[in-house]
Structure 1
């Protein structure tokens, strides 16, 4: 995927759901993975030509899993003239050593989001951009269906009352394969943290399940997404 196609996907999501308003200060959560680095590239490019003017800051929550080389990410942010902050935490120790969670992802995500929200608020941001792409949305729907018994997915735009922050998901129309291709084409400085359960989660199980369904039923992924758009987001497009 080339940059112009990425901008097109993101512009459509931003316009369809009114994600960005004039004067916004948006924090981007940078995990070090391909998704968040692609989002930073997309919003930095969109900032140049989008009619609503906005600011960007990048924030990494260091979970404490060990050495995560963030130097290239710092340089990457500098390239786009985006202010970069790293929050040091002991989340890994709390989740895996102190609490010894059998389902660590839930607590880890909650603590990570809390740290990110607090820092965004401290920096005067009114919005946070998450890097959830199209496949994330489909997988989340299946997770909800299988484990919660409901047809549900996170919203493109979510207002957090307690923090007075709005969460936006500008990559929602971008397929994961396009993100993978984009990261390779533009040699994004991926620096993933070393989570010991990476690749062994319920989400990974659902990812494989969707992959199998697509293999047996070509085109069904698009139909899943259409169902989510109509059922969860009440879109007629």
Structure 2
């Protein structure tokens, strides 16, 4: 259903949803100084709900930003059989946004290198990343914007904990592997369920990834299903988990590289909660996150959160 076909009540709900995603996007941009004056931002567009929402939000925020920045949408056509090549160019031309379609047959490489039955995502993502870095350099992009959201970041944290033995997530802003680019994730504060609803109501022309979409037993999918189950049974838990990633106390972990445990001695001040970690905890389930319009400032724009300053 398009936004033109929505009823009055549906339009009200859609406006709340749009403002919430816009607010969260603007806040993440401000918190991590993702966009600066004169930036040329390469928006990686896969044809999925996340990247469409990312481009839509950046275009919206671009109109009211206190800084000037350019957008160029880039899609990597990996030559998957049946890929509808016409959809993205037609959509981007309708928006009037600058874009580039990069054609590279990574599909054949992945199929050749990865044994049947094995997951393809790791090799596919490495190949895709290298091509996008090269393209960013060719286009003179100063930032590379990816569509990962809050749930992606939490999933990565749990994947690394469960399977990699690391407390490592997906940073909202980082320097690329080759050291030449800054990668940003403006949707870092946005919930996947909000993006799903927004994408449906905006009727984005979604293009499924047939290469990895046929791998239902991926570890990431297992984690995603677990988080969704928690979100249904314990509203507010996912929000609390994400806040925990923003409130790390190194002295209460066990990484000797992050905290000098060897120098701890009587009489010294201790960060965090000191020895209250030994006390019996008395936690309660977090309150569900309100979706009331009260939490949304209808006049919010990038000039409110001072992006780039």
After TM superposition, the score normalised by the length of structure 2 is: 0.71
TM-aligned CA distance change 1:215 to 1:186, over 3 Å: closer
CA RMSD in angstroms comes to 1.8
**1:153 positional shift:** 0.7
Structure 2 CA distance for partners of 1:8 and 1:218, relative to 1, 3 Å? closer
1:73 to 2:88 alignment: yes
After superposition, the C-alpha distances for 1:43-87 in whole angstroms (9 at most, x for unaligned) are 011111111110011111112221222433223322332212111
> Does the alignment pair 1:180 with 2:196?
yes
Q: Using a 3 Å threshold, how does the CA distance of structure 1 residues 92 and 31 change in structure 2: closer, same or farther?
A: same
Structure 1 unmatched ranges of 5 or more: 233-237
| Aligned partner (choices 89, 106, 112) of residue 91 of structure 1 | 106
Match of 2:181 in 1: 165
> Counterpart in 1 of 2:21?
6
Per-residue deviation at 1:198?
4.3
Q: What is the CA-CA distance between 1:163 and the residue it aligns to?
A: 5.0
**CA offset digits 1:84-131 (Å, max 9, x no partner):** 211112212111224437332111111111111111110110110000
Please tell me whether the aligned partners of residues 149 and 190 of structure 2 are also in contact (alpha carbons under 8 angstroms): yes
Aligned twin of 2:242: 225
Separation in structure 1 between the aligned mates of residue 165 and residue 139 of structure 2, nearest angstrom: 38
Instruction: Please state whether the residue corresponding to 1:204 is helix, strand or coil.
Output: helix
1-structure distance, mates of 2:80, 2:64: 38
- 1:24 pairs with one of 30, 39, 47: 39
In the TM superposition, what whole-angstrom CA distance separates every residue of 1:129-185 from its partner, at most 9, and x where no partner exists?
A: 000011111111111111111111121111126352100000011101110110111
Counterpart in the other structure of 2:162: 146
Aligned equivalents of 1:228, 1:11: Cα separation in 2 = 19
Q: Which of 192, 202, 226 is equivalent to 2:219?
A: 202
**Could you tell me how far apart the structure 1 residues matched to 2:91 and 2:105 are?**
25
Any residues of structure 2 matched to 1:99-178 within 5 Å, and which? 99-100=114-115, 102-160=118-176, 162-178=178-194
Distance 1:148 1:161, change over 3 A: closer
- TM-score scaled by structure 1? 0.91
CA distance in 1, matches of 2:129, 2:62: 24
Is the Cα–Cα contact under 8 Å of residues 34 and 190 in structure 1 kept in the other structure?
A: yes
**Structure with bigger gyration radius:** 2
Greater strand percent: which structure? Answer: 1
The 8 Å contact of residues 27 and 58 in structure 1, kept in 2 or not, is answered as yes
**Contact residue 117 and residue 163 of structure 1 kept, 8 A:** no
Mapped to 2, the partners of 1:141 and 1:109 lie a distance apart of: 18
**Is this contact kept in 2: 1:60–1:85, CA < 8 A?**
yes
